[in-house]
Amino acid sequence: MAEEQLLTTAEVAHRLRIKPETIYAYVSRGLLARVKVPGERTSRFRLADVERLAARTQATRPERDAAPAMRTATTLIAYGRLHYRGLDVATLAPVTPFEEIARWLWTGERRREPFATSAETVDTARRASSHLPAQARLFDRLPVIVAVAAAMDPLRFDLAPATVTALAPALLSSMVDALPLAGESPADDALAARLWPRLTGTPASTAGLRALNAALVLLADHDLAASTIAVRVAASTRANPYAAVLAGLGALDGPMHGAVGSSVHRMVEVALRDGAPAAIAEWLRTGALPGFGHSLYPDGDPRGAALLDLVAELPTEGELRRAVDDLIATAARRGALPNVDLAVAALAHATGMGPGAAEVIFAVARTAGWIAHIVEEYAQPSNRFRWSSGYTGPPPEST
């Protein structure tokens, strides 16, 4: 019994998306068993029992407004943790190569094979993206690179799962290798090592690469985030995988999603210059505090905690360390806990990466998750998403 994970009533209600009163109804009907814990007055429930009930009830629950559900076997966010196919991501991130996690997301198999693409694709994509204006962000190159990779893949319209998962390593490699170098080209063929000199001219260190790899792992998927929904809607029309990824990049570019990293980076800059209270006050005037809080993690984002622990191992300047610590302490007094965006900003500052680095890290990482969702969506009926518009305009003219 001591080894079983037990959940509170609130945790069960959140997982099953029901009211606490419904839990008691399940208990009275024998669908869920209470567990008495010595020394506690409240009942708890076994994780395994709750998951069995979730699979049973959520698979048969009617959908509102005839909108089909997006169900996934890829990622679960529950009990304050993030899981990829049942594995705790915060535990995996510090010790597992991103490539291995990506394959786990796609196939349920863990293999440590490097990702590669053709030199011709990289060269063509690099030349195409080089025509962007000087003020273009590094992130702006990614849609161009993906479009070029698509045009050069004659099998892009083959939507078989094996074909999609086979093209994914080359797509991710192209997205990284076609970016311009800011530092020396690495000897290491790991994707994190190849991404590093595209983000900073600072020489890579073992601890730095470990932290960057962990960031990629932690950001690889996050259930049905806005960009993932865009990807799945595109895939439902049988858009090819590259086109579906482009749909995700469009949604990711919003300042309330993947592009929030630039705001957090600038907030850390203000904290370094003017102090944490001044930085937080400046951002609160906009009505939002980037880098803190997450509705799915009321007790703190485990991704942020895991990455901040790795950033703490870097040879960080004292001023930066104090600024980040002061931001966390000041926000905590308002009840706001750091999330993964703050951790990525801290990593970027500690390694000499610019304000656009977070967006690129996010996009490269999340593409791995999108591929898993694309494969899942291709297995569903096509064109299945058609919501009611809820029209609120003027009535039609009479004829």
The residue type found at 229 is I
The question of whether 341 is a catalytic residue gets the answer: yes
Active-site position among 83, 222, 294, 373: 294
Are 299 and 80 in contact by the 8 Å Cβ rule? The answer is yes
SS3 336: coil
Size (the chain), residues: 399
- b/e sequence 70-96, b meaning 16+ C-beta within 10 Å: bebebbbbbbeebbbbeeebbebbbeb
Start-to-end CA distance of the chain, whole Å, equals 73
C-beta of residue 222 within 8 angstroms of C-beta of residue 77: yes
Which sign does the torsion angle of CA 52, 30, 70, 191 carry?
Answer: negative
> Could you give the CA distance from residue 92 to residue 94 in angstroms, rounded to a whole number?
6
In whole angstroms, what is the distance from residue 238 CA to residue 246 CA? 14
d(CA 79, CA 7): 8
Known active-site residue 373? no
CA distances to 203, 213, 379 from 209, in Å: 10, 6, 36
Burial class of residue 36 (count of CB atoms within 10 Å of its CB; 0-12, 13-18, 19+): exposed
C-alpha 234/C-alpha 97 separation (Å) is 29
Nearby residues of 148 by Cβ (< 8 Å), 6 or more positions away: 121, 124, 125, 128, 129, 174, 178
Which of 253, 301, 341, 349 is an active site residue?
341
Angle, helix 161-177 to helix 241-252, in steps of 10 degrees: 50
Residues recognised as catalytic: 294, 341
